[in-house]
Amino acid sequence: MDIGIGLPGHGPWRDGRSLVQWARRAEERGFSTLSVSDRLAWSTPEPLTTLAAAAGATSRIRLLTSVLLAPLRANHALFAKTVTTLDQLAGPGRLRLGLAPGLWEDDFVLSEVDHGTRGKQFDRLLDRLTAAAAPGDPVGPPPATPGGPPLLFGGTSQATLRRIATHGTGCIVGDATVQAVQDFAPRLRRAWADAGRTGSPRLVASVMYALGPYAEAAISEAIGPYDAFAGEGYARYGISIARTRPEQIIATIADFERIGCDELIFMGNDPDPWQVDLLADAIGL
């Protein structure tokens, strides 16, 4: 199972250069993937811009949006161009897109995008993204990765399963529990097989972490306000399942590897780049 690391973009970062330091350290320490999350109505950095900076600062580590709120990108042709440009900057095989329809209505209000029709907009965007990867499409540049960057999808709905089966290479489960992944995996594999896809869908999970003497405070400061939209109980739950000790990190890796995950991503909450080294040391990278 591959082990990736996520930038602490939802936490209280104050200097974008620290995120670039995270990218460099993540590659130096041997993590498989660097991921970045997405919110509009929050201080989270814009994901594709952030990954462009990371692409320039690194040369090998894979780059992932986990997850991009796809329907907010209302100009589908421009979005496709942005993706193929980023794929060129990163080089073949490095960029993967984790995509989801979006949950928070305030993101859509600020974007002046209709929240109620986001599913239809999402499907149109996927069609345009697929077209941009085909030879002769007027939107350029062409992607560096043949066929365009692989797509992973967040969510557990029937629409998500359909998108994975028709456009994707697998799924990404955020704030994952072992039980949630175990419950979803059979549905995913069944939809994949029913669509006549060969091989197996990729199964990626992400969990929250912070390490060191201030880990619990960092988790509370990052996750508490971020999850407050869903109520105090939801925020407390998000804080309670975050990993803050090395032994929890090791146990989490064993648990997700046991159920057949292909990759596990530890999402940062403390913006100090030292967190990359603490995680790498905990797992022996």
Among 249, 276, 242, smallest CA distance to 29 is for 276
Full residue range of the structural domain in which residue 104 is found = 2-283
Average pLDDT over residues 127-137: 94
Structure-block tokens of residue 160: 């998500």
Q: Where are the alpha helices (DSSP H) in the chain?
A: 16-28, 47-57, 76-90, 105-111, 118-132, 158-167, 178-194, 215-226, 232-240, 246-258, 274-283
Q: Are 156 and 184 in contact (CB under 8 A)?
A: yes
Report the pLDDT value the prediction gives residue 27, as an integer from 0 to 100. Answer: 98
Average pLDDT over residues 248-276: 97
Q: At 61, which CATH number? A: 3.20.20.30
Q: Is the pLDDT of residue 224 over 90?
A: no
Distance of alpha carbon 139 from alpha carbon 246, whole angstroms: 47
Domain count, the chain: 1
The DSSP call for residue 45 is: P
* Whole-structure pTM value: 0.96
Q: Is the pLDDT of residue 228 over 80?
A: no
Report the pLDDT value the prediction gives residue 199, as an integer from 0 to 100. Answer: 95
Give the pLDDT confidence of 87-127 residue by residue, as tens digits: 999 999 999 999 999 988 999 999 999 999 999 999 999 99
